A and B are shown apart, each in its own frame.
Chain A
Amino acid sequence: MNTPVYIAGLGVISAIGNNVQEHLNAFKNEAAGMGDITHFESVHRGVLPVAEVKMTNHELAEKAGMLLDASRTTLLSLLAAREALTDAEIPNLSSLRTGFVSANTVGGMDRSEDFFTRFLKDNSKGKLRNVYDHECGSITEAVANELGITDFMTTLSTACSSSANAVFYGARLIRNGLLDVVIAGGADALTKFTLNGFNTLMILDKEFCKPFDQNREGLNLGEGAGYVVLVSDRVAKTLNKQAYCRLSGYNNSNDAYHQTASSPDGTGSYMAMRGALNKAGLQPEDIDYINVHGTGTPNNDSAEGTAIRRLFDPHYPAMSSTKSFTGHTLGASGGIEAVFSALAVKHGIIYPNLRFETQMEELPVAPETHFREGQQTDHVMSNSFGFGGNCTSLIFSKI
């Protein structure tokens, strides 16, 4: 049951790049992806910065080899999942039991918004093709069809922790002996629905976000997709190149405090990190780097910072929020940051936390502010917390 599960392939698309290599370049150049809204009409254009993938739907569809009427979420998902699967180069894949476990928060909402505008005026109007893929599961199904995966597929949705849960659900499918290979992660395109939703909560920063900074004012929404290819011990032995790392620990705990807010002492975050360490058989001082959830909202960063202090003091690992580059990609963030964490383990990378100025009062240490390579990164933790108190931590370890 506790056999090792390896990460053999990575794929990612976000505001800072369309593949893994472009992301590494952006991190080295410390180039954030935020800017103005360009892909849809909104009264918030010019007011709220967002981190959009720098391709139109048309360009994405062409690159993905799909019809233009697919949801943007489907297109992002397919591109990243395909990159991950190609990267893994798994020998004799067709002879293995392969699954696709994907996450998203609003399914094909980008298309539903188009449908709904017409539908609201007249219930007999609105193109049905635009609402056909409204369900979250439709996105997964469309991508699995393109990837040719039929053995197993499912979709998770636990708000902003969705794809972190997808990653470890994938690992458990392997550990329980049900599958040999799982492509796991998630995708979310920016939509008016989520942009306006977060805006009503008054947690969107009108400037570029400043995670883990005392003077942070909120998050920037982003979009993208990130997937890892998880393989069993047996499959790992057949790989042509060494896997990136192991997924050594994971935990899902609930804050059980409020539908959207985190508890002041970060109970759920603490339990998730503690549980992941226990699962991995590690101590807090074994962790070399934390890719924090770090949305940049006063509430999240305070709760997460407090939980980190409770768990790690006085042995603080390096930490940073890559959301200072990608924005908060919601259901995609756990998958995207799993990719970053696997790269951190493989290449000894510590990512910078952009725009950091003033240390938070909850935490006696500052996040990393510059890109570093060749560091010791034997164990990397990735945090993903969401609405509904859903808190998930993953640990990636050197092979």
Chain B
Amino acid sequence: MMKAYIRSAASISAQNTFGGQDFLTDVVAYQTTRLGTIEPDYKTYIDPKLIRRMSHVIKMGVAAAMECLKQAGVDQPDAIITGTAFGIMEDTVTFLTRIIEMQEEMLPPTAFIQSTHNTVAAQIALMLKCHNYNNTFVHKGVSFESALLDALMLLNEGEASNVLVGGIDEMIDTSFTVLTRLGLYKRWPVSNLALYQEKSKGTIGGEGAAFFVLSDTLSAGNLAELSGLRSFYNPDTTLDVSDTITAFLKEHNLAVADIDLLITGKNGDINNDAPYDQLKVELFSQTTCANYKHLCGEYPTSSSFALWLAANIIHRQTVPAVLLEQVADVKSLKKVLIYNRYQNKYHSLMLVSAC
């Protein structure tokens, strides 16, 4: 059974989550179809000369990674692994636009150079002069989970003791326009804090960067333990996962009653949310339930934000009220289960425990 200690966690999101702030005490409300991120002072983390050339996703990824390493007190991670479904979308679109507008002549190279999906992981390595293992996963709604699995395997193999792993995705105007045309988002602005009461089609777009240092050794400052990870694909959008979840818990010698908090990937789209609601009736009727996408929006690696929440919830032994589906008084938080079901096809389960 592969597991790891979460030594540190850093998140840049649409909420005040970055850099030693209180845990979601100052919740930001939006009336929108798309959540951007609250920008940190990048100069604290990145050489200003480099900042100018970096597009948003690179800055946000690198800054979250640096803050995460700082919190862990790790100078050189044994591996750097990222997950991103969209990659470096802004630079990709910039270069594509120029090819068309300038008819393939006299193109500047910078956007192309930065457009490869591994740019964030590469820039982190470059800034740290870190020659160690470096990998990037780009598989839709389980890009972050794929990166996590790689990290867990490296720890299990004894190839690494501290692994920096992160989920990053940006939402730019072009992708938002295209994805809106594909029917992913609501057609009118909604209150993010009332997202689940909308009961209509579509969700709100989002973006973010969340990084973690996973470690094979228990140390005093650890936030939590990542005790289990399972992700899978199933094209049957009506799939009932009750048995899969029960089996997953059993593998970890747990029953549903042992789960102190369930965090699900509800996003305000009635078709997306129905299977979660059904699951709660079938399996988790007695479990305290929380949601997170009203805070960060929907994006393929949003489960990294959920893991950031879970690690903090366990570490601080408190569940911010803004997350809870119903008012609840949660006393002891030992086991948190995250279930995300991206576009009803990519499923992921993460079990997070107190150390």
Contacts and interface: CB of A to CB of B under 8 A. Distances in A.
Interface of A: 1, 42-44, 105, 107, 112-113, 116-117, 119-120, 123-124, 128, 131-132, 135-138, 140-141, 144-145, 150-159, 165, 169, 172-173, 175-176, 192-193, 196-197, 199-201, 252-260, 267-268, 271, 386-390
B100 A141 contact: no
Contact of A389 (B87, B122, B153): B122
Contacts of B86: 135
A254 B118 CA distance: 12
Which of A113, A120, A136 gathers the greatest number of chain B CB atoms within 10 Å? A136
Contact of A197 (B109, B123, B143, B181): B109
A123 B178 CA distance: 8
A293 B129 CA distance: 23
Contacts of B109: 197, 200-201
Contact of A192 (B104, B116, B119, B133): B104
Interface stretch (B229-237, B258-266, B268-276, B315-323): B229-237
Interface stretch (B134-142, B205-213, B240-248): B134-142
Contact of B105 (A43, A153, A172): A43
Contact of A193 (B99, B130, B233): B99
Contacts of B134: 158, 252-254, 388-390
Interface in B113-161: 113-119, 121-123, 125-126, 128-140, 142-143, 146, 149-150, 153, 156-158
A387 B113 contact: yes
Contacts of A145: 235
Nearest to B80: A254
B139 A258 contact: no
A128 B180 CA distance: 11
A192 B113 contact: no
A158 B136 contact: yes
Nearest to A258: B126
Contacts of B105: 43
Given A112-B96, A253-B131, A42 B104 contact: yes
B138 A156 contact: yes
Contacts of B196: none
A254 B125 contact: yes
A259 B113 contact: yes
Contact of A137 (B85, B121, B181): B85
B97 interface: yes
Contacts of B100: 116-117, 120
A150 B234 CA distance: 7
A259 B99 contact: no
Top 5 closest A-B pairs, CB basis? Answer: A388-B122, A197-B112, A200-B109, A137-B140, A157-B117
B329 interface: no
B103 interface: yes
Nearest to A121: B100
A196 B107 contact: yes
A156 B125 contact: no
Which of A123, A159, A256 gathers the greatest number of chain B CB atoms within 10 Å? A256
B65 to A, nearest CB: 14
B116 A169 contact: no
Contacts of A387: 113, 116, 118, 122
B101 interface: yes
A59 B136 CA distance: 33
Which of B157, B158, B178 gathers the greatest number of chain A CB atoms within 10 Å? B178
Contact of B87 (A1, A136, A138): A136
Contact of B112 (A44, A173, A200, A267): A200
Given A172-B153, A252-B134, A257-B126, A154 B104 contact: no
Contacts of A175: 157
B108 interface: yes
A155 B135 contact: no
B137 A154 contact: yes
Contacts of B182: 128, 132
Contacts of A136: 87, 117, 138-139
B107 A200 contact: yes
A252 B133 contact: yes
B286 interface: no
A136 B132 CA distance: 25
Contacts of A255: 131
Given A176-B156, A267-B131, A390-B122, A105 B104 contact: no
Nearest to B133: A252
Nearest to B99: A196
21 contacts: A120-B100, A154-B139, A156-B135, A157-B116, A157-B118, A165-B135, A169-B150, A193-B99, A197-B112, A197-B115, A200-B109, A252-B133, A253-B131, A254-B132, A256-B125, A256-B129, A259-B123, A260-B113, A267-B131, A387-B113, A388-B134
A386 B113 CA distance: 11
Contacts of B278: none
Contact of B131 (A107, A152, A172, A271): A271
Which of B97, B105, B121, B133 gathers the greatest number of chain A CB atoms within 10 Å? B133
A119 B178 contact: yes
A123 B177 contact: yes
B2 interface: yes
A158 B118 contact: yes
B113 A201 contact: yes
Contacts of B150: 169
Nearest to A151: B232
Nearest to B2: A176
Contacts of A159: 116-118
Given A158-B117, A196-B99, A389-B125, 9 more contacts: A117-B100, A136-B117, A136-B138, A144-B233, A150-B233, A155-B137, A165-B135, A196-B95, A387-B118
B150 to A, nearest CB: 7
A152 B126 CA distance: 32
